[in-house]
């Protein structure tokens, strides 16, 4: 819908991902609490939101982030070890297009097992998706009948939708596992004439944004993605076809 211009010019993007996997302070220390293993909440949950943001809105130019660690130590055999990662983080985002964004990730939100929400506000319309309702999209346009003002729920399990066609009859729902099957089918259909996506460069771009957020936390300032890339545009280049 973004690509087809149905939302108009994208102006605002926001994403949240809340988990409760680290709420219990009795959970022992493992690799997920070690920064050298890439276990930060920004890299774990945030990387997926960054990937979605750049896919939907385009490159991110700069970020300003904040983090907190609420359980400072975790048990290890014979004692405790300091936790090296964030329990929760949030960030302000400036996209290269001029759009603005916000992101919040946390692994200490009680009774929020794997809840993420993504919303896009354009000049013409708003679209919002919640992972809790995999087969639904909330949508509203400035061209809607004023007497029906507000967001409406779209049943995206209808066979007219590209990722649900060929699955179960409408009303049965398409689940988590089907997402991976659809992805595999898309990759197979593209090979060998088209590049696979997401690709290594997409992953490198996401990593650069996550690194920018973590640098922003430690240095308490806005950080540009170009700064993390060392002024090189090679990583941001399109892959060869």
186 pLDDT tier (thresholds 50, 70, 90):
confident
How confident is the model at residue 240, as a pLDDT?
Answer: 38
Query: So where are the chain's domains?
Result: 10-228
Residues 150 and 140: their CA atoms lie apart, in Å, by: 6
Count other C-beta atoms under 10 Å from residue 21's C-beta.
Answer: 15
How confident is the model at residue 13, as a pLDDT?
Answer: 98
Give pLDDT tens digits for 209-234: 999 999 999 999 999 999 999 865 54
Structure tokens at 213: 């957020």
How confident is the model at residue 85, as a pLDDT?
Answer: 96
Tell me the mean pLDDT in the region 55-76.
Answer: 97
How confident is the model at residue 100, as a pLDDT?
Answer: 98
- Residue bearing the bigger pLDDT, 216 or 169: 216
How confident is the model at residue 231, as a pLDDT?
Answer: 65
**The pLDDT of residue 56 is above 90:** yes
CATH code reported for the domain at 10-228 = 3.30.360.10
- Residue bearing the bigger pLDDT, 190 or 217: 217
How confident is the model at residue 32, as a pLDDT?
Answer: 92
Q: At what angle do helices 47-57 and 200-219 cross, to 10 degrees?
A: 120
Tell me the mean pLDDT in the region 168-178.
Answer: 88
How confident is the model at residue 239, as a pLDDT?
Answer: 40
Residues 223 and 230: their CA atoms lie apart, in Å, by: 12
Tell me the mean pLDDT in the region 139-153.
Answer: 96
The pTM (predicted TM-score) of the whole model is 0.90
**The pLDDT of residue 241 is above 60:** no
| Rounded alpha-carbon distances, angstroms, from residue 135 to 170, 177, 180, 205 | 10, 13, 15, 29
How confident is the model at residue 235, as a pLDDT?
Answer: 46
46 pLDDT tier (thresholds 50, 70, 90):
very high
**The pLDDT of residue 30 is above 60:** yes
Residues 68 and 84: their CA atoms lie apart, in Å, by: 11
Q: Whole-angstrom distance between the N-terminal and C-terminal Cα of the chain? A: 25
Residues 55 and 147: their CA atoms lie apart, in Å, by: 34
163 pLDDT tier (thresholds 50, 70, 90):
confident
Rounded mean pLDDT of the chain? 92
Percent of the chain with pLDDT over 70: 95
| Rounded alpha-carbon distances, angstroms, from residue 6 to 2, 14, 95, 165, 186 | 6, 18, 19, 21, 23
Tell me the mean pLDDT in the region 18-40.
Answer: 94
Tell me the mean pLDDT in the region 80-88.
Answer: 97
């Amino acid at each position: 819908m973004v690509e087809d211009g149905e939302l108009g010019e994208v102006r605002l993007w926001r994403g949240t991902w809340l988990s409760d996997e680290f709420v219990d302070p009795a959970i022992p220390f493992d690799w997920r609490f070690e920064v050298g293993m890439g276990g930060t909440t920004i890299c774990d949950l945030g990387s997926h939101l960054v990937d979605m943001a750049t896919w939907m809105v385009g490159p991110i130019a700069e970020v300003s982030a904040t983090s907190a660690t609420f359980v400072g130590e975790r048990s290890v055999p014979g004692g405790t070890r300091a936790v090296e990662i964030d329990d929760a983080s949030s960030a302000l985002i400036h996209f290269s297009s001029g759009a603005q964004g916000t992101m919040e990730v946390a692994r200490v939100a009680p009774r929020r097992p794997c809840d993420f929400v993504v919303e896009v506000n354009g000049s013409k319309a708003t679209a919002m998706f919640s992972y809790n309702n995999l087969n639904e999209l909330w949508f509203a346009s400035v061209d809607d009948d004023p007497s029906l003002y507000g967001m409406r729920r779209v049943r995206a399990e209808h066979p007219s939708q590209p990722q649900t066609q060929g699955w179960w009859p409408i009303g049965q729902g398409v689940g988590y596992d089907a997402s991976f099957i659809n992805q595999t089918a898309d990759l197979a259909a593209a090979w060998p004439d088209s590049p696979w996506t997401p690709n290594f460069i997409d992953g490198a771009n996401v990593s650069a944004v996550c690194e920018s957020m973590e640098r922003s936390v430690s240095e308490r300032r806005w950080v540009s993605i170009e700064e993390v890339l060392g002024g090189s545009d090679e990583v941001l280049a399109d892959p060869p076809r």
